[in-house]
A = this chain, B = another copy of it.
Amino acid sequence: MKAQSASALPAIQSAIRAVGSRVTPARVRVLAALQAAPGPQSHADVEETLTRQAHPAVDRVTLYRVLDWLCAAGLAHKATDARGVFRFSAAAPNVEHAGHVHFRCTGCGGVFCLKAPPPAPPKLPRGFRLAAVAFDIRGECPRCVKSHA
Query: Could you say how many copies of this chain the assembly holds?
Result: 2
Contacting B at CB under 8 A, from A83-140, are 83-86, 101, 103, 106, 112, 114, 116, 119-140
With beta carbons under 8 angstroms apart, the residue of B83, B122, B130, B138 that contacts A132 is B138
Find the B residue at minimum CB distance from A117: B122
CA distance A84 to B124 in the complex (A): 22
CA distance A84 to B103 in the complex (A): 16
- Report if A73 contacts B (CB, 8 A): no
Are A128 and B140 interface neighbours, CB within 8 A?
yes
Q: Tell me the dominant secondary structure on chain A's binding face.
A: mixed
Are B124 and A137 interface neighbours, CB within 8 A?
yes
Contacting B at CB under 8 A, from A37-72, are none
* Interchain residue pairs with CB less than 8 A apart (14): A83-B84, A101-B122, A106-B131, A119-B119, A121-B137, A122-B137, A127-B146, A128-B139, A129-B140, A131-B140, A132-B137, A132-B138, A133-B135, A134-B135
